[in-house]
Amino acid sequence: MIDKDKFDEWYNEIVELADLCDKRYPIKGMNIWKPYGWKIMQNIDAIIRQEMEKTGHKEVYFPLLIPEGFFKKEEEHIRGFSSEVYWVTHAGKNELEEKLLLRPTSETAMYPIFSLWIRSHADLPLKIFQIVNTFRYETKMTKAFIRVREIHFFEAHTCHTDFEDAEKQIKEDLEIAKRFFRKLCLPFIISKRPEWDKFAGAFYSIGLDVLMPSLKALQVGSIHQYKQNFSKPFEIKYEGIDGKHYYCHQTTYGMSERVLGAIVGIHGDEKGIKLPSSIAPIKVVIIPILFKGWEEKIMDECKKVKEEIEKMGLSCHIDDRDKTPGSKFYDWELKGVPLRIEIGPKDIENNVVSIATRDGIKKRIARNELEKIKDELAEYDERLYRKAEEFLRQHIYIMEKLEKKEGIIEVPWCGKEECGLKMEEELDMKSLGTPLPGKECDKNCPICGGKATTWLRLAKIY
Amino acid sequence: MIDKDKFDEWYNEIVELADLCDKRYPIKGMNIWKPYGWKIMQNIDAIIRQEMEKTGHKEVYFPLLIPEGFFKKEEEHIRGFSSEVYWVTHAGKNELEEKLLLRPTSETAMYPIFSLWIRSHADLPLKIFQIVNTFRYETKMTKAFIRVREIHFFEAHTCHTDFEDAEKQIKEDLEIAKRFFRKLCLPFIISKRPEWDKFAGAFYSIGLDVLMPSLKALQVGSIHQYKQNFSKPFEIKYEGIDGKHYYCHQTTYGMSERVLGAIVGIHGDEKGIKLPSSIAPIKVVIIPILFKGWEEKIMDECKKVKEEIEKMGLSCHIDDRDKTPGSKFYDWELKGVPLRIEIGPKDIENNVVSIATRDGIKKRIARNELEKIKDELAEYDERLYRKAEEFLRQHIYIMEKLEKKEGIIEVPWCGKEECGLKMEEELDMKSLGTPLPGKECDKNCPICGGKATTWLRLAKIY
């Protein structure tokens, strides 16, 4: 893992060196996705889509532009977002009659339409999602994938008959998150955000956070219980079995390109990024080790091996560029390809292939046991996960008193906002919230000395 | 095919009835993609991506917002688009220092960056594409998929060392288009657009047009030769083998959700849409024909058949809703599912399944020959294509004199702009351009009587 103090500089460089993005676009916080980075993001999206399909969510696409009138229907929501939205005021040479905003998130685009789609209890639950570009005029320092102004965004929106059914959805979302982040080898913690930091308009918010090598927490997902906070202003009602009309209960689940930022940051090392095999555009790269007189034999063998690997369902690339093997190793390590195969005269003579995983395990595999590559990839993924998990665990400090630590701090908390804010101030950290699932506490709040009913997690955050 | 006079009304209704989109979003020309329509569009995109991969194009994503300064670098281009662009002028409560526009197309977002990416002849050809939302403030009447203001858009951009290499790219684009539209069962014509109708900034433009049942032509793709028209203002230069610096030659290839509009329009009938099997989200729907005492047997058989069909790589759905078979037929015909299977007691007794293709062919297939479904789908696609091709051929009028006809008219043309415009006026049509590949002509121009060097195609257009 990259050293804390070097992390920022390393991260800012690696995203371009590994060919993920180009930051030279002249609008701050709006970067160009290069082919390699975009392919990885599409692979991440594909995993989300699988999970959504499995859980009965349907994919939709709502317009980017939202009329000001729609946006202003829910007061908390406007308050939360109004300083961050981009406004379209003109089209061609005309001033628009009604200003339009670029979606920062799509509640206010979708919910007036949900009120048309939902008539009866038979229409519920409604479970939809979309993967789109959203826009937030960030004023803080921007950072590739982590804080950008055009965001590649996933948002699921659901409507339910009652609070309990919405709560069930939130449980399902958490299961989705567990499966999803496991595939990306990213350990994370789940916290119920404090009142003062919940999503604009939510009844409560859950944050999914990872810990970056900078020892700052990064929110990589959020799940919100809206109760009827949006359904009332947007008039999303259904007719119950009893013939009466009720407002829906709603939830959302959001994630973004930050997931890629987390992968880059958490798995990376001095050599470059390390991609989990689930999302690597190239899972196996083959480097021919050419010797005079052997060229043809070796290239033939490389092609045969490639073919066999592709039959196993793994993407594979032969690097036949006119460069030294060493400089090829360098390139593919930089780009995080999970597994490298070297094929030289000795490998052919001994009927083996030489493999090296991106995290440094080197082996020979019998030529007729190429299938073992799958196990090697699975073990590689497991090692990525374990290493990240150990790092996370080592940096969670469960303490009775307030004490500055680098990482995530958990302290007893009485539940009062003023005590929470005081802790934030003393630690120079932000609250992540209370642990989920809930964790009992029989200590005292280090601020007021009163009985602590729960724990508060704090960390420096992105 | 839908009758010409009923077409508009039918089209406007069917896009919602078949669950493709919802037009009730309050911004004119910005519709909601419903799950079924979005899935079809994603399947269309998947075919484009395959073709792009096959031809060595890499997928990227450039920012949506373009600084005014970038946009204004190529004069013709601004002139062509300035009346159509949406302007972002404010963010939060601040007026932006430089106005930003929503991309109507991405030349002016990409080309300043190409000038950074391209250094030497070794960087060429550069072949990239993206599939994104673009925006055009259309003032004409909007129409789902055909004329919208937020457009689901495909754009390929290439850079080459010289004009000849760019011309080769255009040939490749035409081959891509042929394969692509063949998979969608859409016959089309290729025309070199007249000077007065080429793309803003292009050296020349090629239009790919289909003929809709309304007998109006619909442009479903366009290919542009830019020569050095953009590379000069945007400074896209490379160092040649001789060490000297040259401006690149560029091309683009664009398509959009109009392709879906064409599929809906051209293949549709009174019962609904007809989807080519290449893009149908559900290729086969199974309808259990339930009789008392047979329920379990029939449902078991449906499940077995589904499993076998899915093993063949075909998406399959059992409609087990509590509705009559007839009303299920109606629903799936409306949505254009290529093939329906009915399974009732007699089918089980006779060891067959009853099939019906969406275009009305009914057959029984022996239960142990289920593989034949693939042939049935291929033949169905072939019929869709042939029918559309016949319709197109029947409505191309090759004539020596100007005479009003409904469809596409081809007349001898001297090549002079004034004669072309006069023909447009007299026929109340627009020029599609001259046929590609070129077609000799030994007639006279019906306007000036001078020697016609080529043919001009005209039609009413969308």
Domains and CATH numbers, chain A: 4-267 (3.30.930.10), 284-376 (3.40.50.800), 396-459 (3.30.110.30)
Do residues B304 and B361 make contact, with C-beta atoms less than 8 angstroms apart?
A: no
CA atoms within 13 A on the CB side of A12: 11
Q: Are A190 and A158 in contact (CB under 8 A)?
A: no
Question: Considering only CB atoms, which chain B residues are within 8 Å of A151?
Answer: none
* Nearest-angstrom CA–CA distance, B339 and B357: 4
pLDDT one digit per residue (tens) for chain A, 462 residues? 899 999 999 999 999 999 999 999 999 999 999 999 999 999 999 999 999 999 999 999 999 999 999 999 888 888 888 899 999 999 999 999 999 999 999 999 999 999 999 999 999 999 999 999 999 998 899 999 999 999 999 999 999 999 999 999 999 999 999 999 999 999 999 999 999 999 999 999 999 999 999 999 999 999 999 999 999 999 999 999 999 999 999 999 999 999 999 999 999 999 999 999 999 999 999 999 999 999 999 999 999 999 999 999 999 999 999 999 999 999 999 999 999 999 999 999 999 999 999 999 999 999 999 999 999 999 999 999 999 999 999 999 999 999 999 999 999 999 999 999 999 999 999 999 999 999 999 999 999 999 999 999 999 999
pLDDT of residue A75: 83
pLDDT of residue B384: 98
What pLDDT was estimated at residue B192? 98
Type of residue found at B292:
K
Does A394 touch chain B if contact means CB atoms closer than 8 Å?
no
Cα angle A426, A427, A432 (rounded to 5 degrees) comes to 120
pLDDT reported for residue A100: 97
The DSSP element (H or E) to which A68 belongs, if any, is helix A68-71
Q: Which residues have CB under 8 Å from B50's CB, separation 6+?
A: none
C-alpha B354/C-alpha B359 separation (Å) is: 15
A116 vs B contacts (CB less than 8 Å): 22, 24
Instruction: Kindly report, residue by residue over B364-422, the tens digit of the pLDDT.
Output: 999 999 999 999 999 999 999 999 999 999 999 999 999 999 999 999 999 999 999 99
Are A285 and A340 in contact by the 8 Å Cβ rule? The answer is: yes
- Confidence (pLDDT) at B74: 84
Is B139's pLDDT higher than 90? no
Q: Does A27 touch chain B (CB under 8 A)?
A: yes
Do residues A36 and A335 touch, judged by C-beta distance below 8 A? Answer: yes
Is the CB of B88 less than 8 angstroms away from the CB of A87? yes
Question: Is ipTM > 0.85 here?
Answer: yes
Residue A147, CA distances (Å) to A37, A200, A261, B368 in order: 16, 19, 10, 58
Instruction: Give yes or no for a contact between B353 and B305, defined as CB atoms under 8 angstroms apart.
Output: yes
Out of A62, A65, A100, closest to residue B32 by CB? A62
d(CA A38, CA A47): 14
Residue in A42, A86, A92 closest to B85 by CB: A92
- The tokens 């802790």 sit on which residue? A423
Which residues of B are less than 8 Å from A27 in CB distance? 63, 65, 67, 100
The one-letter amino acid code at B90 reads H
In the prediction, which pLDDT does A79 show?
A: 85
- φ/ψ (deg, to 5) at A45: -60, -40
Pairing of strands A204-211, A189-192: antiparallel
CA distance B123 to A74: 51
Instruction: Tell me the C-alpha distance between B119 and B211, whole Å.
Output: 43
B434 and B423 Cβ atoms separated by less than 8 Å: no
- pLDDT at residue B80 in the model: 87
> Cβ neighbours of residue A66 under 8 Å, at least 6 residues apart?
A100, A101, A102, A103, A106, A108, A109
Using alpha carbons, select from B223, B219, B144, B214 the residue that is nearest to residue B188: B219
How far, in Å, CA of A401 to CA of A424, rounded? 13
Confidence (pLDDT) at B421 = 97
Residue B47 Rama label (left phi>0; alpha psi -120 to 50; beta): alpha
Q: How far is CA A436 from the centre of its chain?
A: 19
B interface mutation test: which of A32, A140, A321 has the most B CBs within 10 A? A32
Instruction: Give A160: exposed, middle or buried? Use CB within 10 Å, 0-12, 13-18, 19+.
Output: buried
Q: Beta-carbon neighbour count of residue B193 at 10 Å?
A: 21
Contact B433, B194 (CB under 8 A): yes
Chain A neighbors of B123, CB-CB under 8 A:
none
CA distance A192 to A195: 9
Rounded to 5°, the CA angle B234-B240-B242 comes to: 140
Contact criterion met (CB below 8 Å) for B250 and B158? yes
Interchain contact, A61 vs B26, CB within 8 Å: no
A333, β-bridge pairs: none
Q: Is A63 exposed, middle or buried (0-12, 13-18, 19+ CB in 10 A)?
A: buried
CB atoms within 10 A of CB B408: 24
Asked if residue B77 has pLDDT above 90, the reply is no
Q: What is the dihedral of CA A293, A295, A296, A297, to 10 degrees?
A: 80
B301-355 tens-digit pLDDT: 999 999 999 999 999 999 999 999 999 999 999 999 999 999 999 999 999 999 9
Residues of B in contact with A137 (CB under 8 A): 91-92
Say which residue the tokens 């880059």 belong to: A264
Phi/psi of residue B448, nearest 5 degrees: -95, -10
Q: How far apart are CA A169 and CA B166, in angstroms?
A: 53
Assess contact for A262 and A237: CB atoms under 8 A.
Answer: no
Query: Which residue's entry shows tokens 């809906």?
Result: B264
Report pLDDT digits (tens) over B148-177. 999 999 999 999 999 999 999 999 999 999
pLDDT of residue A78: 84
Q: Which two tokens stand for residue A439?
A: 């964790």
Q: Quick check: B91 and A85 CB within 8 A? A: yes
Task: Name the DSSP letter for residue A253.
Answer: E
Above 90 in pLDDT, residue B79?
no
- The two beta strands, A352-357 and A362-366, are antiparallel
Q: In whole angstroms, how far apart are CA A162 and each of A58, A112, A155, A231, A250? A: 21, 19, 21, 12, 9
Burial class (CB in 10 A: 0-12, 13-18, 19+), B21: buried
Those residues whose C-beta lies under 8 Å from the C-beta of residue A301, and which sit 6 or more positions away, are: A343, A347, A348
Please measure the distance between the N-terminal and C-terminal CA atoms of chain A and give it in whole angstroms: 18
Contact (CB, 8 A) for A256 and A229: no
Give Cβ neighbours of residue B46 (< 8 Å, ≥ 6 apart). Answer: none
Considering only CB atoms, A60 lies closest to which of B26, B38, B87, namely B38
| DSSP category for residue A84 | G
Burial of B375 (0-12, 13-18, 19+ CB in 10 A): exposed
- Picking from B209, B232, B234, the residue whose alpha carbon sits closest to that of residue B222 is B209
A133 touches chain B (CB under 8 A): yes
Burial of A428 from C-beta contacts in 10 A (0-12 / 13-18 / 19+): exposed
Chain B hits for A150, Cβ within 8 Å: 63-65
CB contact, 8 Å: A88 with chain B? yes
The CA distance from A289 to B374, in Å, is 45
Q: What share of chain B in percent tops pLDDT 90?
A: 97
Contact assessment for residue B176 and residue B164, using Cβ atoms and an 8 Å cutoff: no
**Cα B65 → chain centroid:** 25
Distance CA B406, CA A351 (A): 71
The count of other CB atoms within 10 Å of the CB of residue A45 is: 17
Residues A427, A456 contacting (CB under 8 angstroms): no
A252 DSSP β-pair partners: A157, A224
Place of tokens 């789902």: B144
Residues 308-367 of A with CB under 8 A from B: none
> What's residue A74's pLDDT?
84
- Please give the full DSSP string across A188-247, using - where no structure is assigned: -EEEEPPGGGS-TT-SEEEEEEEE-TTS-EEEEEEEEEEETTTTTTTT-EEE-TTS-EEE
Instruction: Give the total residue count for chain A.
Output: 462
Q: Are A414 and A445 in contact (CB under 8 A)?
A: yes
Phi-psi region of A98 (alpha: psi -120 to 50; beta: other; left: phi over 0): beta
